[in-house]
Amino acid sequence: MLITLFIVIIAAIYCGFVIWFFIGFNRKQAHTNTKTNFVSIIVAAHNEEKNIGRCLRALTRQTYPANLFEIIVVDDRSTDGTADVAASFAETHPQVKLHYIDETPPGMPPKKHALNTGIQQAKGEILCFTDADCRPGKSWLENILQAFAEDVGMAIGFTHLIPAQGEKPPLWQRFVAYDSWITGFVSISSISNHFPLTCGGGNLAYRKKTFLTVSGFSTIAQSLSGDDDLLMHIFAKNAGQKIIALKDPGAVVVSETVASLKQLRRQKTRHFSAGKYYPFSKKLFYFFWQGSSVVLTVFPIVALCSKSIAFQSAIFALFVKWSVDFLFHFSGFRKYKMATLLKYFLLYQIVYPFYYLLLGLAGRIKKPVWQVKS
């Protein structure tokens, strides 16, 4: 009886979290900017010869007037042809500017230093950021600017991944692509509920003045990662301005999954390592939300192996979990016209709790590294 009650409580906790996400995802926003601002787009690039051209091509094709934005590419100690590709764009597109970094000063992680360099050079009051391996849509910049009402300090969209292997990608790449959408839904839902949890550096923007007011990256220099989510937490606590979620489909940015499982492990370990520096309230949120997810997924297996009488209750609780998750996922995918991805729903439900648990632990135990080629 006590075990059954425990399962019911865990299921109720988990469902409460998902309902909270669902409400945030569907919350209306009334923040609209009617001004025309000059904007600086900053792209930090380290050995991105294969990707930087596609990124710059997408950025130079924005619907926002070309004379109202600049694109600052910061070549961060690249040893390939990244700078050559960026320089060729600068020759034909006056708004593209290239800056070089030869070394990183002690005490500041490489990407944060590269972004700082771009920010110092930026002429725009509003700074927009994407990664060298990302491809923003044509209306990306226009959508960002529309969100920057006077009381808005930061705007955040999400980056969805597509498999790197094209038409016949391995199953793990399809899982990672699906996960990128759900992470995006969680990000914009929590932001809309005024309790921002996470975000990605491939799709965000903030005011330069506000960035300088909160001392920029100086207070989060201890983390190799976190130029996005940790900075967002600082803005939420200290900036005195609102953080807005970019929900319009035109604000979504596309990128590719990494090409190997080794790259995935190192990338996710680096991302999860920033969690050590999250505010306590966010850590507590993740503990109960993800903890209840793991319990509901694992408990039926434990109950079956131990021949517990609570097995039926555990299966029912897992069914409830999957049901509320499906409604949340369906709501998100329908908005972005990607409902066909729901064919990977069960794969995600079975794998994700273990994926999160293992990589989350690795991010807190192992020393993160920046990039790996294979």
As a whole number, mean pLDDT of residues 23-44 equals 88
As a whole number, mean pLDDT of residues 94-120 equals 94
Question: Is residue 371's pLDDT more than 60?
Answer: no
pLDDT on residue 368: 66
Question: Is residue 165's pLDDT more than 80?
Answer: no
Largest CA distance in the chain: 73
As a whole number, mean pLDDT of residues 35-62 equals 95
Distance CA 43, CA 56 (A): 9
As a whole number, mean pLDDT of residues 277-305 equals 93
Fold category of 29-269 in CATH: Spore Coat Polysaccharide Biosynthesis Protein SpsA; Chain A (3.90.550)
Distance CA 249, CA 143 (A): 9
Question: Is residue 192's pLDDT more than 80?
Answer: yes
Chain position carrying tokens 């930090």: 44
pLDDT on residue 370: 58
Q: Please report which confidence band the pLDDT of residue 183 belongs to, taking 50, 70 and 90 as the band edges.
A: very high
**Dihedral over Cα of 222, 212, 227, 276: its sign:** positive
For the stretch 116-133, pLDDT in tens is: 999 999 999 999 999 999
**Dihedral over Cα of 293, 298, 300, 306: its sign:** negative
Instruction: Please tell me which residue, 272 or 365, carries the higher pLDDT value.
Output: 272
Task: Indicate the average pLDDT of the chain.
Answer: 92
Q: Please report which confidence band the pLDDT of residue 25 belongs to, taking 50, 70 and 90 as the band edges.
A: very high
Instruction: Please tell me which residue, 364 or 351, carries the higher pLDDT value.
Output: 351
As a whole number, mean pLDDT of residues 76-81 equals 94
Q: Please report which confidence band the pLDDT of residue 292 belongs to, taking 50, 70 and 90 as the band edges.
A: very high
Asked whether 374 and 205 are in contact (CB, 8 A), the reply is no
Distance CA 252, CA 265 (A): 25
So where are the chain's domains? 7-23+281-365, 29-269
Distance CA 258, CA 164 (A): 7
Distance CA 271, CA 360 (A): 9
**Dihedral over Cα of 71, 77, 81, 84: its sign:** positive
pLDDT on residue 221: 93
Question: Is residue 63's pLDDT more than 50?
Answer: yes
Q: Which residues pair with 176 in a beta bridge?
A: none
Pair type for strands 69-76 and 96-101: parallel
As a whole number of Å, the end-to-end CA separation of the chain is: 51
Q: Please report which confidence band the pLDDT of residue 55 belongs to, taking 50, 70 and 90 as the band edges.
A: very high
For the stretch 256-282, pLDDT in tens is: 999 999 999 888 888 888 999 999 999
Q: Assign 3-class secondary structure to 51-112.
A: CHHHHHHHHCCCCCCHHHEEEEEEEECCCCCHHHHHHHHHHHCCCEEEEEECCCCCCCCHHH
Distance CA 207, CA 213 (A): 10
Chain position carrying tokens 């035109």: 250
Q: Which of 15-24, 33-42, 146-155, 214-223 has the lowest mean pLDDT?
A: 33-42
Q: Which amino acid does the sequence have at 67? A: N
As a whole number, mean pLDDT of residues 52-61 equals 97
As a whole number, mean pLDDT of residues 178-191 equals 97
Question: Is residue 167's pLDDT more than 90?
Answer: no
Distance CA 312, CA 179 (A): 29
pLDDT on residue 360: 81
As a whole number, mean pLDDT of residues 203-224 equals 95
The alpha carbon of 200 is separated from its chain's Cα centroid by a whole number of angstroms, namely 3
Chain position carrying tokens 């926003």: 29
Distance CA 319, CA 328 (A): 14
Give the burial class of 110: count Cβ atoms within 10 A of its Cβ; 0-12 exposed, 13-18 middle, 19 or more buried: middle
pLDDT on residue 97: 97
pLDDT on residue 288: 97
pLDDT on residue 303: 82
Q: Which residues pair with 99 in a beta bridge?
A: 74
